[in-house]
Amino acid sequence: VVDAAHINARMDAFEQSFPNAVRAYAAKAFLVPALAAAVAERGWWLDVVSAGEARLALEMGVPAEHLIVHGNYKTPDEVLLAVVRGAGRVVVDHPAEVTQLAEAARLHDREVDVLLRLNVDIDVETHPKVRTAGSDVHFGMVVSEAASAVRAATGPVHLRGVHLHLGSQLRDPDVYPAAMEAVAEFVEVHRAAFPDVVDLDVGGGMAVPYVRSDPVVPVGDYAAAIERGAYEAERMIGPVRILIEPGRAIVANAGVTVYRIGVRKPGPEGVPFLAVDGGISDNPRPALYGAEYEAVLARRADEPHDHPFRVVGRHCETGDTVVPHAWLPADADHGELLVVPATGAYGFSMASRYNLVSRPPVIFVESGRERVVVERDDSLPGLGA
């Protein structure tokens, strides 16, 4: 269940804090038609990683020139789509991609505007599985690879700037200026190959609170740090245009997942298990990253939630945890609705049909009204609905 007003408020906050940047929403966090339509209406750009995301965006009115096409492996069809539809920017992740783009562009008589994704090896504090900077990470190019991509970018491929994305849940805004300086050094070396105004895309990664003890980092703090980074970059390489790609920071706190408790059974050290009608299939983050959430009983929210529980899913995995350290009323039991807040990002978008459970619907609520924006999917693979 998604609070549409919250998404709007977050987009407002980014518009106020980053008035001069190109604001792109990272579709991977959560993309449904209603959200793509809002992105189009506000004139935001959209960061897409697959033909599926791109097609949904185009269908909902996001112009092709507002698409930033990402991916460490773009299929030939995806390269073609980006070139033929005229994506605003294609982010090159490895040097051979420049050749692929050039071939497609020549074949279809098009021009392509690209950013080079650099992997800058700076210290980034976040969960290792969502850190995308450093030599053990398979995204982007180190300086020597990026240099050969610069040399390859000729003919119909136009170098417009550089891209970096350091990772997700970056609670320290100061990592942005540090990384921006590193990529500016790269541009400085190859200055003649770049245009007068260089696109400097700093990616997403702005952090959100998942549990009450998590810090809240204001959007303005990121804006101030990125502005400092831009200032330093401009001293080195001349005018830059900043692009940002927040995902989680727009939608994470807008969504809650509503489960039904099906089973209560004794657990270790007196902490009972509660099994709910979902789990790793609607939110794999606890299993993937040990992500923490909180839980609340929907109809007893004002009662003391002071008894420890372990909320688990219904799938055939011991790692299928929903809320590893939940606090609920002591008598919480089967039949009750359990709500997990802060599930708006990387839940629905990572959902699967594991064990052929149905994929839950998505419901937007706004001004006291609800609308189903995605129907429950309980089709049978190979057999259909």
Q: Which is nearer to ligand PLP, 140 or 272 (CB)?
A: 140
What is the pairing mode between strands 256-265 and 273-276? antiparallel
- Cα distance between residue 69 and residue 80, in whole Å: 11
Q: Which is nearer to ligand PLP, 168 or 321 (CB)?
A: 168
Q: Which amino acid is at 297?
A: L
Residue selected from 2, 4, 7, 29 as contacting ligand PLP according to rule CB under 6 A: 29
Looking at the DSSP assignment, which residues form a beta bridge with residue 69?
48, 90
Angle of the 51-59 helix axis to the 76-85 helix axis, nearest 10: 30
Considering only residues 95-134, where is the footprint of ligand PLP by CB under 6 A?
A: none
Could you say whether residue 71 binds ligand PLP (CB under 6 A)?
no
Q: Which is nearer to ligand PLP, 70 or 305 (CB)?
A: 70
Q: Which is nearer to ligand PLP, 45 or 309 (CB)?
A: 45
Total residues binding ligand PLP (CB under 6 A): 16
First to last CA, the chain: 23
Residue selected from 94, 248, 285, 314 as contacting ligand PLP according to rule CB under 6 A: 248
The 249-288 contact track toward ligand PLP, x by CB under 6 A, reads x---------------------------------------
Half-sphere exposure of 198 (CA within 13 A, CB side): 27
Could you say whether residue 53 binds ligand PLP (CB under 6 A)?
no
Residue 95: phi and psi, rounded to 5, are -60, -35
On whether the CB atoms of residues 261 and 274 are closer than 8 A, the answer is: yes
Residue with tokens 């929903």: 322
Residue selected from 71, 88, 156, 247 as contacting ligand PLP according to rule CB under 6 A: 247
Q: How does DSSP assign 19-73, residue by residue?
A: TTSEEEEEGGG---HHHHHHHHHHT-EEEE-SHHHHHHHHHTT--GGGEEE--SS
Question: Least CB distance from residue 357 to ligand PLP, whole Å?
Answer: 26
Verify whether residue 86 is a known catalytic residue: no
On whether the CB atoms of residues 198 and 241 are closer than 8 A, the answer is: yes
Write the CA distances from 369 to 13, 35, 242, integer angstroms: 24, 17, 37
Could you say whether residue 165 binds ligand PLP (CB under 6 A)?
yes
Query: Catalytic one among 136, 213, 266, 316?
Result: 316
Could you say whether residue 203 binds ligand PLP (CB under 6 A)?
yes
Biggest distance spanned by C-alpha atoms of the chain: 69
Q: Which is nearer to ligand PLP, 30 or 259 (CB)?
A: 30
Residue selected from 161, 173, 177, 204 as contacting ligand PLP according to rule CB under 6 A: 204
The 227-246 contact track toward ligand PLP, x by CB under 6 A, reads ------------------xx
Question: Least CB distance from residue 29 to ligand PLP, whole Å?
Answer: 5
Could you say whether residue 70 binds ligand PLP (CB under 6 A)?
yes
**Catalytic residue ranges:** 316
Interaction site with ligand PLP (CB under 6 A): 26, 28-29, 47, 70, 165, 168, 203-206, 245-249
